[in-house]
Structure 1
Amino acid sequence: MPSILFIYKNKNLADQFVKHFKLNGYSIHQFYDEELPYYKFSKLQQLENIFYRIFKRDTQHIHKIEQRNFISVTNKKLKKLEQKNLKFDFCFVIRGDLIPENVIRYARSISDKMVDYQLDGLSVSKKILDYDYLFDQIYVFDDKDVLDYPGYNLKSITNCFFEENTNVNKSIDFSYIGVNTENRFNILNNLYDILKDLDKNYVINFYLKQDEFHSKFSEKLIMINDSLNYKNCLEISNRTKVLIDLKRQEHNGLSLRFFEALNYKNKIITNNNSVLNYDFYHPDNIYITDYKNYEGLEEFLSKPYFMIDENIIIKYRFDNWIKNILYT
């Protein structure tokens, strides 16, 4: 049974990886094995944050406090790992740029093979290049990053999907789940109206997580204060006919939504033109728009889902995806 030290700061999504590692016969040690409490401030830290926000007009200082707490929690977990004196066949890291260097260095010393996967473009995670010498391979999900940073140990790979039950009733016509920004808020508000003009009976669930910087309200959107966990997100996707994808400006890699859609057989509306280059693209399943021009949308929605060749789909399934990462 191959042993893996798994390091990923986002436990919400990490739990899904851990579940499927175990289902596929891997022995897993999860470094961040509980929700990180670094956002829970002491009374002194609360006063510190108030002082900086009110008297120094620094609304970003809160993130410095969070980072200090994260480092403190991380060092405690590292000490526990060191005490166990374990060795691993692989260390698999996701978003290594967010992990302190002392953790990466120690993981390297106890792992036969060290691999990182960047599921965000290097434009927002370039620090991973500082750790290049510690990894056998760094995988990126945007092909352009490999071209833009020659000389580094980079290789491109897509996102994947986790094989889950798909035998559910698709009771939601359209869904989106994401963090609120002004651009997303405006796009989804407008799209809601366009879809309702096509059919007032459409069930449209657009979830946006509020934050202190983007707190607009719309009766058309479902504004939530706490993020949905990834399991809930998958359940919503599974019950949806058409997923909405809003590309981040910083990169062209395909989000997890595209690969969830392969498993759940969802259609997708997106502004990511790079999907045209993928072997699972079909115009009956994926509608590309700039979210200003919706010519052909009604025709797209009227067509049935085009069944993609199973041999194409299984390439992106977690079990095959992780074998490509660990054994090539």
Structure 2
Amino acid sequence: MSKHELMILENKKILFIAPSFFGYEHDIVAQLKAFGAHVDYFDERPFTSSVAKIFNRLNFKLFIKGDIENHFLKIYDMSIKNKYDFLFVISPETLEKKIIDKIKSTNNKMVSILYMWDSFRNKSNAKKVVSCFDRVFSFDPSDKISGIDIRFLALFYNNDFKLLESDKFNSTQYAVSFIGTVHSDRVKLAKKIMEQFQNRGLNTFCFYYCPSKLLFILKKIFTREFDYISFSEVSFNSMSKLEIKDVFINSNAIIDIQHPEQMGLTMRTIEMLGLNRKIITTNSDIQNYDFFNISNIAIVNRVAPIIPDGFIDSSYVQPDENIVNQYSIQSWLRTIFSEQ
């Protein structure tokens, strides 16, 4: 950041509302504070029980409406006291227009910013409140809403996924690895891809995560989504970022399977750019990004995910350092909070 860019956030007060998501919200808070801002963070989903999360996911908000309203009224009270300079919201599922308007009314100079790290297609509530914000960004280049200026901004890699000098001399243990949340056809595809390497006698690593045992059981009973995975194959405790990095540093390539209803690149994809690791992905839109290189990135079909011959054995081609830096968390926040 230049001196002028640092001054944008120096001593500014930021109200940050975002869903808890594997600790990325805390990485954002830490970086904003490193830029000199004062940050108050609140979870956008004011409940911790699995039942409440399922009600919210299924849009049965009537059962948790009281908890949601009380949560955001407390945030409004904080806004009256603190007179925030920025309201920064990520992928809202429960936040309502009337609350956003109340928060904004506490300081008529407040700049309100919305960032979507899920597609608007998958977040009906976000569509209802998008008009409340001064700036709107999405990780999905296909997101379009009539009358709304939606700026495309890819996700980021944080400092945990920045390649260190000591990492460069690490010998790999796995030909390919997959670590991710279970959804859609992910498990089916990941297993098909890993089988191709296992048939060659190569080591692979997989870690399938589900945030709720109850959710897993219900989907197992009532949907076909989890047909390709058993209860014993799933972990209900996530891995830490350092554990994930250790696996990836020990892998030649990482499998990335985006949600079929999204075009934007996953956080995992951007993290592999930071770690200089090959990617096997179902997202064909990756070829439109400035870091795309056929030596580093294999695009596979969701129906028949065949890995190109020689891909895993060839050397990684180092991207331009300036391009890699553009996807850091520092650069991401600079774009969001710039005065442009």
TM-score normalised according to structure 1 size: 0.81
Structure 1 contact 36–73 (Cα < 8 Å) conserved: no
Classify 1:38/1:63 alpha carbon distance in 2 versus 1 (closer, same or farther; 3 Å). farther
- How far apart in 1 are the matches of 2:72 and 2:184? 37
Q: Which amino acid aligns with 2:143?
A: D
Tell whether 2:209 aligns with 1:173.
Answer: no
Aligned counterpart for 1:116 among listed residues 107, 114, 117: 114
Tell whether 2:206 aligns with 1:205.
Answer: yes
Q: Which amino acid aligns with 2:43?
A: Y
Classify 1:105/1:229 alpha carbon distance in 2 versus 1 (closer, same or farther; 3 Å). farther
Q: Which consecutive residues of structure 1, in runs of 5 or more, have no partner in the other structure? A: 50-57
Cα displacement (A) at 1:119: 0.8
- How far apart in 2 are the matches of 1:275 and 1:32? 31
Aligned counterpart for 2:135 among listed residues 127, 134, 137: 137
Cα displacement (A) at 1:226: 3.0
Structure 2 contact 298–308 (Cα < 8 Å) conserved: yes
- How far apart in 2 are the matches of 1:92 and 1:32? 12
Segment of structure 1 superposing worse, 306-315 or 7-16? 7-16
Instruction: Within 5 Å, give how 1:62-77 maps onto structure 2.
Output: 64=61, 67-68=64-65, 70-71=67-68, 74-75=71-72, 77=74
Q: Which amino acid aligns with 1:178?
A: G
Structure 2 contact 300–307 (Cα < 8 Å) conserved: no
In angstroms, what is the RMSD of aligned CA positions?
3.2
Cα displacement (A) at 1:296: 5.2
Tell whether 2:33 aligns with 1:22.
Answer: yes
Classify 1:171/1:36 alpha carbon distance in 2 versus 1 (closer, same or farther; 3 Å). farther
Cα displacement (A) at 1:80: 5.0
Structure 1 contact 115–135 (Cα < 8 Å) conserved: yes
Cα displacement (A) at 1:143: 1.8
Instruction: Within 5 Å, give how 1:144-293 maps onto structure 2.
Output: 144-146=142-144, 149-164=145-160, 165-167=162-164, 168=167, 169=170, 170-181=172-183, 183-198=185-200, 200-209=201-210, 211-212=216-217, 213-214=219-220, 222-228=233-239, 232-293=243-304
- How far apart in 2 are the matches of 1:4 and 1:231? 28
Give the match's secondary structure for 1:316: coil
- How far apart in 2 are the matches of 1:296 and 1:185? 17
Residue deviations 1:103-161 (CA, integer Å, cap 9, x gap): 32233233621100011111112432332332111111222223xx2311322111111
The residue aligned with 2:320 is: 309
Q: Which amino acid aligns with 1:187?
A: L
Segment of structure 1 superposing worse, 233-242 or 203-212? 233-242
Structure 1 contact 175–244 (Cα < 8 Å) conserved: yes
Q: Which amino acid aligns with 1:193?
A: E
TM-score normalised according to structure 2 size: 0.78
Structure 2 contact 46–71 (Cα < 8 Å) conserved: no
The residue aligned with 2:95 is: 99
Question: Percent of aligned positions with the same letter in both sequences?
Answer: 21
Segment of structure 1 superposing worse, 313-322 or 230-239? 230-239
- How far apart in 2 are the matches of 1:191 and 1:240? 14
Cα displacement (A) at 1:318: 1.3
Aligned length: 308
Segment of structure 1 superposing worse, 85-94 or 174-183? 174-183
Classify 1:189/1:134 alpha carbon distance in 2 versus 1 (closer, same or farther; 3 Å). same
- How far apart in 2 are the matches of 1:228 and 1:70? 29
Structure 2 contact 97–128 (Cα < 8 Å) conserved: no
Give the match's secondary structure for 1:173: strand
Instruction: Within 5 Å, give how 1:50-69 maps onto structure 2.
Output: 64=61, 67-68=64-65
The residue aligned with 1:52 is: none
Residue deviations 1:271-317 (CA, integer Å, cap 9, x gap): 11101111000001100011444555341111111100011111111
Structure 1 contact 8–94 (Cα < 8 Å) conserved: yes
Q: Which amino acid aligns with 2:14?
A: I
Structure 1 contact 38–70 (Cα < 8 Å) conserved: no
Q: Which amino acid aligns with 1:205?
A: C
